[in-house]
Structure 1
Amino acid sequence: MSNEIARSHSTIDPYKHLQIVVNPDGTITRSLISPSTEATPDPVNDDAVVLSKDVTVNQSKNTWVRIFVPRQALDSPSSTKLPLIVDFHGGGFIFFSAASSLSHEFCSNVAVELPAIVVSVDYRLAPEHRLPAAYDDAMDALHWIKNTQDDWLMKHADFDNCFLIGSSAGGNIAYYAGLRATAQVNNLLPLKIKGLLLFPFFGAIKRTTSELRLVNDRVSPPCLSDLMWELALPIGADRDHEYCNPKVEGGSKLVDQIRLLGWKVMVIGCDRDPLIDRQIELVRMMEHKEMQVVTHFQEGGYHGIEIIDPVKRKVLLVDIKKICLVVRKGSIVSTRMVFAVPYTIISF
């Protein structure tokens, strides 16, 4: 099924919805205004509970990270180091940055609520830099962390307890960066990744039941995803490319490495998100491979609600905290579903 035919089922104009214009040279003009937040490396007042700073990773690529540290860790240093969370922001590969206010707020909350040290990665955007550029930048960031002499990370981050987390496109990046990292375990030492926390963005040419059911979803209709994939995938690739469809040819062989390494995986979603069936498919693929998977699925909601809604975010962080504590204790995590999925995944 072509992208044009797939879009014909929707009444939404994805270009208008995203407020973008594709230019003759393949770049895009973005009219969507995204609020940003400045890093705060020094406390601006006595009530500041988390501090943050920006550090360059690769000057030639203009990539950088924003590091978040709980104020308490800086004010009352102890011998107990905090879990290290490496975050990749969402935005369909074409929008936003580590400085975007939603990303900044989420990372600040993760740092305080777990507590943890958070490194938020600013990667290059498509279509100016198509995939695998974002995956390359993710790996650059992991190697930068491995080699860093940054005082916040050296003093307060537990390099033995690292998780990759990402929302939407960021969840896709976290997944594929994780796969790459399984093949570089020794090269990443002393950094030891223990798991993936994913709000993943995946797709395929064939529609799922949830995509058909929510074809005119007001937050993230499938036609938006189609356009984002067109702009993000390598030129000439379709949505059955491995970057988009993790189930192609049974999935990457590196997925088995996640199981062998004993990583924990949490997959997050809600049943009012057109992507929910894709996320469930990922869980089932991992379960088939006997991986340790935890799900945080909820009824209702919308795409990205755990990032946007403070109440839902707090509930999610409670579950994420359990994962980090379980890993630290070396226990086994069993698969669970927060709600029973009331429908079957069907591709058309």
Structure 2
Amino acid sequence: MSNELAHDFSPLIKIYKDGRIERLTGTTTLPPSLDPQTGVESKDVVISKEPALSARLYLPTKSATNSPNKKLPLLVYIHGGGFVVERASSSIYHNYLNALVAETNIVAVSVEYRLAPEHSLPAAYDDAWGSLKWVASHSDAKGSEDWLNRHADFQRVFIAGDSAGANIAHNVGLRIGSEGLGGVKPKGIVLVHPYFGGSEAIGAEQALPPVVREYMVGLWRLAYPSTSGSDDPLFNPGKDPKLGGLGCEKVLVCVAEKDALKDRGWRYSEVLKKSGWKGAVDVIESKGENHVFHLFNPTCDNAVALLKKMVSFIN
């Protein structure tokens, strides 16, 4: 066993020259459960065996019991982790989805996508798309999953993700715009601290140490070895001629003041407005906060404010 490193993307992942992969975070998982604090029930479902694709579903039990015929908004959530770490069952995502579902009174589907580097991009994009198509197959109330058939309102579908998950959410939103989604058109997309980039440094990026910029671009290249580079439209939406075709009515972009990716979120809202897209885009900035702070400190004032903003966007 060699301890020689091929890639060191601490604090996320290390890859050794002998091919070993060591994930340094996102390995703590929780089983699905009935959460006593929020009253939200969850379960894991298999979407397809080949490719291996699954999701974790969340249902607010009080609503489902008290108003069994009332349809609830449906959220498809895509977790972050630089395309290389975290899972739908990761403790931070499981706990956050419980809180979000309880607060918003929605049904949620948390996507379990294949991770790089074992499964290079576009695997994660394809998995998210496959999950969305599976969700849409329930719009006639005849799908394979009872919770979606009985409780989900397919006129009120939303997609959300953080970091790399926000990147995926944006890109599947474009695919919905160009290919359609079996009669389902999402009302809105929430991008929390989206992991976008570009060859040209913008805003505060110009003052970042080169090592930070190299890390952000290097991680993208690790996840997508065949990428055309930092201006790949999948990574730099401003370079995408199809941006105006985003398949939803409204977008909420959330950024954090101390996040190295902050200016990418602001830039995204600007290029989206100029793209010819007919929807409405709103940006919220959390002052004094860093990347995905709300997952690690969900009860702080700014995290509560961010959650409330997401709740009002969906409702």
Interval containing the TM-score (normalised by the shorter chain): 0.7 to 0.9
- Structure 1 vs Structure 2: percent identity of aligned residues? 31
Letter in 2 for 1:37: L
In 1, distance between residues paired with 2:52 and 2:16? 23
Aligned-pair CA distance for 1:149: 2.7
Gaps of 5+ in 1: 1-12, 326-348
- Residue in 2 aligned with 1:75? 65
Query: Does residue 306 of structure 1 match 2:301?
Result: no
Whether the 8 Å contact between 1:208 and 1:277 is mirrored in structure 2 is yes
CA RMSD of aligned residues (A): 2.3
* Equivalent position to 1:180, from 145, 153, 175: 175
Q: 1:31 to 1:306 in 2, by over 3 A?
A: closer
Q: Which moved more, 1:113-122 or 1:309-318?
A: 309-318
- The answer (yes or no) to whether the contact 2:73–2:156 under 8 Å persists in 1 is yes
Give how far 1:31 is off: 4.0
Task: Give, in whole Å, the separation in 1 of the partners of 2:39 and 2:122.
Answer: 36
Whole-Å Cα distance in 2 between the matches of residues 192 and 225 of structure 1? 32
Deviations 1:128-163 (A, max 9, x none): 211111111111001111223311111111111001
- 2:173·2:248 contact (CA, 8 Å) conserved in 1? no
1:6 corresponds in structure 2 to: none
Contact 1:210 1:273 in 2 (8 A): no
Q: Check whether the contact 1:110–1:118 (CA below 8 A) recurs between aligned residues.
A: no
Change (3 A) 1:23 1:57: farther
2:103 & 2:233 partners in 1: Cα distance? 35
Query: Are 1:210 and 1:275, in contact at CA under 8 Å, matched by a contact in 2?
Result: no
Please report how far the alpha carbon of residue 19 of structure 1 lies from its aligned counterpart in structure 2 after TM superposition: 4.3
CA drift at 1:29: 3.3
Is structure 2 residue 289 aligned with structure 1 residue 295?
no
Query: Normalised by the size of structure 1, how large is the TM-score?
Result: 0.79
Q: How does 1:110-129 map onto structure 2 within 5 Å?
A: 110-129=100-119
Matched, 1:167 2:162: yes
Match 1:196 to one of 182, 189, 199: 189
Match of 1:56 in 2: 46
| 1:186-209 C-alpha deviation (Å, 9 max, x unpaired) | x422x3311110021101122233
CA distance in 1 between counterparts of 2:26 and 2:170 reads 28
Contact persistence 2:13–2:23 (CA under 8 A): yes
Query: Which of 4, 27, 33 is the equivalent residue of 1:34?
Result: 27
The code of the aligned residue for 1:303 comes to: H
State the match for 1:273 in structure 2. Answer: 259
Alignment of 1:217-296 (within 5 A): 221-235=212-226, 237-248=228-239, 251-253=240-242, 255-258=243-246, 263-289=249-275, 291-296=279-284
Deviations 1:198-229, CA, capped at 9 Å, x for gaps = 02110112223323434399xxx434322211
2:117 is equivalent to residue 131 of structure 1: no
Contact 1:92–1:225, Cα closer than 8 Å, also in 2: no
Greater shift in the superposed pair: 304-313 or 51-60: 304-313
The offset of 1:237, in angstroms, is 3.0
Cα distance, 1:184 vs structure 2: 2.7
User: Gaps (5+ residues) in structure 2?
Assistant: 1-6, 138-142
**TM-score, normalising length: structure 2:** 0.87
Following superposition, the deviation at residue 44 of structure 1 comes to 7.2
Pick closer, same or farther for the CA change 1:235–1:164 going to 2, 3 Å.
same
Residue 93 of structure 2 corresponds to residue 98 of structure 1: no
* 2:14 match: 20
Contact between 2:185 and 2:248, CA under 8 Å: does it hold in 1? no
Listed one character per residue, the Cα deviations across residues 62-110 of structure 1 (whole Å, up to 9, x for unaligned) are: 2100000112123223432111000000000000110011111111111
Inter-partner Cα distance in structure 1 for 2:26 and 2:165: 19
The residue matched to 1:178 in structure 2 has which SS?
helix
Q: How many residues align?
A: 299
